[in-house]
Structure formats: C-alpha cells, structure tokens
A and B are shown apart, each in its own frame.
Chain A
Amino acid sequence: MLIINCPYCGPRDQSEFSNGGEAHVKRPDGSKEIGDREWGEYVFIRANPKGLFYERWVHTHGCRKWFNCVRDTSTDEILVTYKLDEKKPNLNNFKSVVKTPSGEPEVGSGNFTVEK
C-alpha cells in the first residue's frame, strides 16, 4: 500500500485516495475539425508507460481535492506530488530504473523504501 503525500494535507494512507488515471490530458479545444479517430484517441487512449508516469489522484476521504503526481509504475515509487496549477515537472529530473522498455527494475516493487 502506498503512502501518498497530499499537497494540502501531507502524507496519508492510500486508502484515503482514489486514482484518476493519466494527468495533463487535453480535451480537443474545438479550434479545428477533427475526425472520429482523433476523438476516439482522446476518449479511449491514455498513456501506459512502464516507468515514469504523470497521474492524478483525489483525496476522497480527506480534503477532497485533486492533485497530480509523478510515480514510477515499475516500482510504485512516488517521486513528487504537486497541485493542479503547478507546472508539470520535467521527467529528466528523475531517474528511470527500467533499462529496457519492458525490463524489470533491479530492486523489486516496494523494495525501494528499504533501499533508501
């Protein structure tokens, strides 16, 4: 289980939060005509990287506010949480621990907390 640092309330147990999937997804703004395919991509396709991932959480059983997060999906390590109006952090600031696209990290899931 994760400990998630709510930017408003501080570190809390994961059971207080709900996950909201990929962050920073932009709805087509209507400035140009787009086809079914582009709409389909917007509606159905979300990033699914093994490694660093921008995602959203909501502190459902706390302050009920939404916020963003960078998490490594290969280890579940949460690298940073930030408010919705803050700039999205550059992923180059973080080290990716998977060497090949579908490789396994050297320390297994959860173990990064022990390692550090």
Chain B
Amino acid sequence: MKKKYSIFSLAKNALSGHKEWPKMWRSPEPREFYDVIIIGGGGHGLGTAYYLAKEHGLKNIAVIEKGWLGGGNTGRNTTIIRSNYLWDDSAHLYEHSLKLWENLSIELNYNVMFSQRGVMNLAHNEHDIKEIKRRVSANNLNGIDSFWLSKEEIQKKVPIMNTDNLRYPVLGASYQPRGGVARHDAIAWGFAMRADEMGVDIIQNCEAHQIRTKNGTIEGVETSKGFLRANKIGVVASGHTGVLAESAGIRLPLQSKPLQALVSEPIKPIIDTVVMSSAVHAYVSQSDKGELVIGAGTDSYNSFTQRGGFNIIEDTIRAMVELYPVFGKMKMLRQWGGIVDICPDASPIISKCDIDGLFFNCGWGTGGFKATPGSANVFAHTIAKNEPHQINSAFNLDRFASGRLVDEHGAAAVAH
C-alpha cells in the first residue's frame, strides 16, 4: 500500500508517541535471480531502481547496500544543489536534475526539504571575475537562471561577510536563485520507500564481493548473502566503484579520496543563502536546525579512510573565519569524511562498458548530490534501453580514448 504523509498522519502518529509509524520499506532476503541488480544504496542507486520500476516497467530489481541506506556520500555531503555549470553537456545534465528536484517532494509525497535559497560563488581576483562572468553568460545561453552580483549586492544579501579586509577580497559573485540545499537522508529514504512499493527489493548489510562475467556477459554478483544471478548490473558505489569494476576486469579512470565536512553548534538564523568560494576553498549554509554546514577540501592522496586529514580542516576554518569573522568564536560539533571517486575531467561516468549487461554510474566526485534525481533518471534509461539517454551520452567511458572530455575542473566554480 502506498504510504501517505500529511499533516493528518503526523497528528495521528503524534498521539501514539510516533511509535506506530509503518516501516518505510521491507527488508527481504535476496532472491536467486534479478533482471537488474543495483550495487550501492545511495541516492543515485535507489533513484535508479525507482525510475527503472516507474518509467521502464521493470519489477524484478534489487538494490544491494553493504551498510545502511544513504550511509555513503549521500548521508555525508553538504547538500548544495545548483546547475550553473560551464559546458553544455554538464549544464543539461545538472539542469535536468534541478528540474526533478523542484517537483520531487510532491512526486514522492515525501518531504525532501528542497530549499531554493540561492547559491553564490565568490570571485576574489581578476581571473575569477572573468571566469565567473563567462560562466554566467554560458548559463544564460542554456536558459539557466544565473547572474552576476556586485560586491554591494553581496553585502546586502550576506551582511556578515567580510568583503574588504582580507587577503583575497570579495569582488563579486555569480548567483543562481533556484539553487539551494535539500535533506540528504530524505532523498535516499524517499526513493527507497517508493521503489519498494513498486516491488524493488532493498537489501541492506549485503556487500558485493565480486562481479562475475562469462564470455563478456554479466552472470551475477557474489555477495555476503550468496551468489545473485542477474541479467544486468548497475554499479553505483561512489568511492568503491573502481574496486568493484576491477573485480570484473574493468579499469576505470577513478581515484578515491576523502572529502570532509563539519557542522557547528546550532545558532539563530544568520545566513539565508549558500555561499561558496573556490579560491579560498570554503563554503557554508545554515541547516534548518541552525547549524552551520561547512564543506572542506579533499586530501591530496588516495585513501578510503572516511575521515580525512586535519590540515584540510585547518585550511577551511582559516578561510571561514577570515570571510566571516563573526564565526570566529563558534564551536564545531562534528566532523567527518566521505570517499569520493574523482574522474580526470571532474565529470561523471554514466555508461555501459565492454561487458554486456554491466553499467557504471560513478565519478561524481565532490559534487554529485545535486545530480541525484537526474543521474538516476538517465541511468535507469541507459540500463533499460542498453543505450544512453541524450542527456548522458557525453558522459561515456569512450571519452577517455577519444579525448572528448567534459572538463569541469575549475570551470564549474567550485567542485561541489
């Protein structure tokens, strides 16, 4: 039965102390055979299963997750959503996603708390100004809301920002009003619940060990719950995608690194937009609970330790305190890391490969949360039809042989 959420269900469950809420999804034991197995129960994987069932009529689908749903980067990110990317291919992909975000709470009847509070990308030098203005123009040509803010306009929007008295003064910014933030867990849970209702098996604590192939065709996957046969497998395991690809004899152009974030103690509302700076590498928004959500950078070396180096945090805090002196005395509550899979051109891979029935959705690196519904939507299309959707055709694996990269390093303001 379709679970409904409304003010009435909330009131009703409040009366029973919120102890009677039904489980959001079943947790079945895996079947022996599936038409499609998705490896990785993050937002992209769960969304893929949802769109496969909803738009492509497939029903015999499993999502296997080695830990808990959204316990990877989906639950570890700073949730910044925007679509103001430089290149056409990226702009189309991220804008497709942003449009889906705008209707997602209604579509899922589950509040993903998408808050379009605007995203600002700061310019700190002459080069930043030129680069950002160019990107704003490219965005406008692609029909994406994006404009240039002067320093005075920034000061009006974010009065607590120190724009002048710092090493890299703030000279202007790009601004995308439709950008914003959303609730990280909610998108995983919402997709999981609605996919489950359509018959998708969501299997947690089930680790994929090895992808098995025979004569260039997929056979299935060895897991901690036994061997599961499948016609098609989609690997959506962010930092671990490369490891799984290797088990099928495929080498992917990915490097895995920790990316960190931290949150402060909660305070009264003080910043009502998202501000990012790639030059000094600090970005911040304020959660509905009042915490400052602060994003840091990646470590310079490959690692799977979900924690990251302290020097990275120091750099980010230094930049934060310089940009917002008023934050200087605040306490930080939590810090963590997620393992991001970075592609040489900082663009994702949503592609089939040499093995029939094996598909990859990876390389989202430091910035794939915003793409969750869009990526899932076109990946489901790719798996169901054995052909990419027009929107993801540029994000294939062949580009690393042809050289037709989608180079978003630097071009995309900051990499999140």
Contact = CB atoms under 8 A, between A and B. Distances in A.
Given A21-B255, A102-B237, A73 B400 contact: no
A68 interface: no
B402 interface: yes
The interface size bin for chain A is 20 to 34
B400 A44 contact: yes
Given A36-B402, A102-B207, A44 B253 contact: yes
Interface in B241-298: 242-244, 246-247, 251-256
B303 A19 contact: no
B253 A45 contact: yes
Contact of B243 (A18, A45, A48, A71): A48
A11 interface: no
B309 A14 contact: yes
Nearest to A13: B311
A110 B307 contact: yes
Nearest to B405: A44
Given A36-B402, A49-B243, A102-B240, A75 B210 contact: no
B305 A75 contact: yes
A48 B310 CA distance: 23
Given A37-B401, A41-B251, A48 B302 contact: yes
A108 interface: yes
B209 interface: yes
A10 interface: no
Contact of B305 (A48, A100, A108): A108
Contact of A100 (B207, B255, B306, B310): B207
B208 interface: yes
Interface residues of B, number: 35
Interface in A64-97: 71, 73-76
Interface in B230-245: 237, 240, 242-244
A48 to B, nearest CB: 4
Contacts of B300: 18-19
A81 to B, nearest CB: 13
A101 B245 CA distance: 11
B240 A50 contact: yes
B339 to A, nearest CB: 9
A3 to B, nearest CB: 12
Interface in A20-73: 21, 35-37, 39-41, 43-46, 48-50, 53, 55, 71, 73
A18 B311 CA distance: 13
B178 interface: no
B406 to A, nearest CB: 13
Which of A15, A55, A109: most chain B CB closer than 10 A?
A109
Contact of A55 (B242, B301, B304): B301
B67 to A, nearest CB: 9
Given A44-B344, A45-B400, A102 B253 contact: no
B408 to A, nearest CB: 15
Contacts of B209: 100-101
B66 interface: yes
B303 A76 contact: yes
A48 B301 contact: no
Q: Which 10 A-B pairs give the minimum distances between C-beta atoms?
A: A109-B305, A40-B401, A19-B301, A102-B240, A44-B253, A48-B242, A37-B401, A40-B400, A36-B401, A19-B300
Interface of B: 66, 207-210, 224, 237, 240, 242-244, 246-247, 251-256, 300-307, 309-311, 344, 400-403
14 contacts: A14-B309, A19-B300, A21-B302, A40-B402, A45-B400, A46-B255, A48-B252, A50-B240, A71-B301, A101-B210, A101-B243, A101-B244, A102-B243, A110-B307
